[in-house]
Chain A
Amino acid sequence: MPEHAAHAPDAGLILSARGLVKSYGKGRAVDGVDLDIPERAFTTLLGPSGCGKTTILRMIAGFETPDAGSLVLDGRPLKGVPPERRPVNTVFQSYALFPHLTVFENVAFSLTLRRGAGDPSPRVKRALDAVHMGDFGARYPHQLSGGQQQRVAVARAIVAEPHMLLLDEPLSALDRKMRGHLQIELKDLQRRLGIAFVYVTHDQDEAFALSDIVVVMNKGRIVQKADPLTLYARPASAFVADFIGAASLVPGKIVAMRRTAMSATATLDTPLGIVEAPVAEGLESGAAAMLVIRPEHLQVSTAPSALRAQVQHVVFRGDRFLIEAESHGCLLRVMSDTALDPGTAIGLDLDRARAFITQVEG
């Protein structure tokens, strides 16, 4: 699907971060991050909890001061600029709606702070309509469901037309179905508003569903920044491959490299045998590397050439079964139409052309 590429930014950058560092106590939450956020795109910071993604968002919003490094928004350095004077707004994980104000007053909050801004009603109404909450202006936040509260939080954050919207795991408190609905609405809203969204999540499904660009973080650093398709097919490291999708990771050693102008492939010696596959940047012959195999690139097979494996676990996934099988000391994940009993000996066919060789560390 070239759709993601089509939405990739053709415009300039709205935000650049250089050398961001933030420590809490002994730990470094953010450890030297360079990040460019393009205008009009949906950028997601993805990573496990504690990887520093929320800290970056909070530094952009102005709630945290970087220990080192710079942030430039719209060509203006953000150093020393308090949150109220930054042209960004935040949608909080906990919604953070004002409990003593009605929905209308919550959304009008930023507008009523500015003297001489005129009647906020039309803009509040437009913002509430944009999130399908036009009829709820007179209610109080506690009278709304979680999903409705989150819609109001979004309306409140967009009503003053920020240059950039920051969203901190806004859907994580909602049930799966509501999350799916709101994902579609958020994506739709971002396209209509045409402003940059910076979204923080630990949920890779959510990142894929929403993003033009996904920035994968681990231990305070950026591990990879790419569109979702690239991220899935060509993870820059074993960490990315493992964090995104149910990959099988097989360690090995590169015995040969072949580079052309368009691509690079490597020959990897693994416990499963010799595999030739596309290779990530920065790897050389002789280096230890990791073979990434997606479940859909393995098939249960009876061919004599198939890898011999033994079923360990079977997980029902609704449409199919995820089989975890052991082969030559490696754990392989494969989808199957039928349930297989643990202990069963099976053959596995690997689509070598679609496997990928990546960095062990990162």
Chain B
Amino acid sequence: MPFSRVHLAFPVALALVLGCVLPLGLLLVFSVFTVDMDAFDMVPDLSGHSWGQILSDPVFAFLIGKAVVSGLVTAGLAAIVGYPLALAMARLPLVWKGVANIVLLTPLYTGEIVRIYAWRIVLGSEGLVNAVLKGLGLIDAPLKFLLFSPFTTHLVLLYNNLPFMVLAIWISVELVDTRLIEAARDLGARPVEAFTKVILPLTTPGLAVGLFAVFALAAGDMLTPSLLGGTSGATPMAMIDNLFGTAFDWPLASALALALLAVLFGCATLMAGLLLRLRGARAVFEGRRT
């Protein structure tokens, strides 16, 4: 590339790496320290005790696994809901694209706590949904699973993170040459087939960005599960918070944080690997123009 300006990215890249590597290094060091329970202090006595706990106590594996599943489920749902929205947005006239963008991002402008309490009002036993269903005579007793259940957690995780999926897919759809879609239709593809055979493969990069973002955000969310998930709301994040704070077990908290990070990293790597095997994604990333 004759106009490569890669070096321009160095300062920011350096800041990012240091900002990421230094705290992680600190966590790694903490994780092999021990807690002196009498002095209520962390002492630099090297020990594998915390890591042993992480590996031996199934509660940690369970929590991490639960976070991964939550992330995957939310990302999957967001993809399914997000594609129709993104496709519709790509077909709007220019001005309406701007409007759709603003509307799409509106939830993000309100604080997470505000949104969560709004959901409580909507989904609670005396809430809007139950009141309407009852008023219509469809139910006799309020639907309990609407609030404080895995259903609630994932509904709200989906709602909170959907914009990231829609935006990523939308940009990707915009970049698909409409003539390719016309060519597919011309060659006998019905709209659904044009989607599965041309649009979907060529928008996998956008889908991937959306999946990565929603997966990370949902798997790492603490507030939504703990405030809306009820008894099902335990998360590794809440556990880490607890260990750093109330329990004052920084080594275990550090080890758990690192273990969670490693697992999420592993998942993301796996997803990236799968993605790059898709020919549609390769065609886009290689900038193929015909």
Contact = CB atoms under 8 A, between A and B. Distances in A.
Interface in A97-152: 97-101, 109-110, 113-114, 140-142, 149
Contact of B198 (A61, A98, A142, A156): A98
Interface in A158-183: 160
A94 B187 contact: no
A106 to B, nearest CB: 9
Interface in A229-277: none
Given A83-B182, A113-B189, A96 B290 contact: yes
Contacts of A149: 290
Contacts of B179: 92, 94, 96
B290 A84 contact: no
B177 interface: yes
B182 A84 contact: no
Given A142-B289, A149-B290, A96 B177 contact: yes
Q: Which of A82, A90, A149, A160 has the most CB of B within 10 A?
A: A90
Contacts of B185: 62-63, 82-84
Contacts, number: 83
Interface residues of B, number: 26
Interface in A303-344: none
A89 interface: yes
Contact of B290 (A62, A90, A97): A97
Contact of B283 (A89, A100, A109): A100
B46 interface: no
A113 B195 CA distance: 13
22 contacts: A63-B186, A82-B190, A84-B186, A84-B187, A89-B187, A94-B177, A94-B179, A96-B177, A96-B180, A98-B180, A98-B183, A99-B202, A99-B283, A100-B280, A109-B189, A109-B197, A113-B189, A140-B283, A142-B286, A142-B288, A157-B186, A160-B188
Contacts of B289: 99, 142
B288 A84 contact: no
B258 interface: no
B187 A109 contact: yes
A85 B193 CA distance: 13
Contacts of B115: none
A84 B189 contact: yes
A197 interface: no
B183 A90 contact: yes
Contacts of B197: 109
Interface residues of A, number: 30
B150 interface: no
A90 B197 CA distance: 18
Contacts of B183: 90, 92, 96-98
B77 interface: no
B184 interface: yes
A19 B160 CA distance: 53
A42 interface: no
B97 interface: no
A95 interface: yes
Nearest to A89: B186
A113 B193 contact: yes
A150 to B, nearest CB: 10
Contacts of A156: 187
